[in-house]
Copies of this chain bind each other. A is one copy, B any other.
Amino acid sequence: MLTTELKKDLEPISVNTRADMVELRLREYLNKKELKTGDLLPTEMELSEALGVSRNVLREALSRLRMLGLVESKKKRGMVLTNPDILGSFERVLNPQRMDTSTLKNLFELRLVLEMGLADLLFVRKTAKDIKELEAIVKNGKFEDDDVFRVTREIAFHGKLYEITGNDTLKRFQIMLLPVFDYVLKNENRSVKSNISHTDLVRILKNGTKEEFVVGMREHLRPHFELLKNL
């Protein structure tokens, strides 16, 4: 029977330590050797021998790298390095239900920061076609009070803005952040109303300046900024 003190002083080695270490070692190896996309990795046998671990542990670590999109198994060639999907794993863990309050708050703020920072890209990349599409999204504004309509159009409108930036990473990132936004907005204070509607923002994007757009977006997002104070 172990004494409580010994248990406290000597933390048990996690069952996962070896796979963690092998995964880290392999990532360090890939970076140190400055391997590039398409380069071939040593065989499983060579790797497990060099690392002094069983094939099972090695395979576990390699499986993680495959999930991250760092390596790919090619029939008859072996493992090659790939262009990682940088947002793939982010997508896998982004479930608002299992986030602590401070992470939720941080991601909510992150989206506000993105939204406030879009103006420059928007004014460089917007086309007449984009403006037309935004105009189509915002018409029927009279239904603004209907909740389902409101949320659907909210997503369509802001999603279209991200699309105009022409930046796929940004666009995908904001889609991932939607559930978080949704989750936080359940607590929104509906008594705070913005004086700038989607229609106003489209008008500014069409005929106004970047500076006006930033000011307009700030007013448009005021109910969300207000919410920050209570988080």
Main secondary structure of the interface of A (DSSP, over half): helix
| A16-B84 Cα distance, complex, nearest whole Å | 16
Q: Is the CB of A73 within 8 A of B37?
A: no
Chain B CB within 10 Å — which of A31, A120, A167 has the most? A120
Report which of B73, B82, B106 forms a contact with A16, defined as CB distance below 8 A. B73
Q: Is the CB of B165 within 8 A of A109?
A: yes
Q: Does A146 contact B (CB under 8 A)?
A: no
8 A Cβ contacts from A167-213 to B: 167-170, 173, 210-211
Q: Is the CB of A89 within 8 A of B68?
A: yes
Closest to A73 in B: B15
9 contacts across the A-B interface (CB closer than 8 A): A60-B63, A81-B98, A83-B100, A86-B90, A86-B99, A90-B90, A113-B120, A114-B117, A120-B225
Point out residues on A near B: beta carbons under 8 Å. Answer: 12, 14-16, 19-20, 23, 27, 30-31, 34-37, 56, 59-60, 63-64, 66-70, 73, 75, 81-90, 92-95, 97-100, 102-103, 106-107, 109-110, 112-121, 124, 165, 167-170, 173, 210-211, 214-215, 218, 225, 228
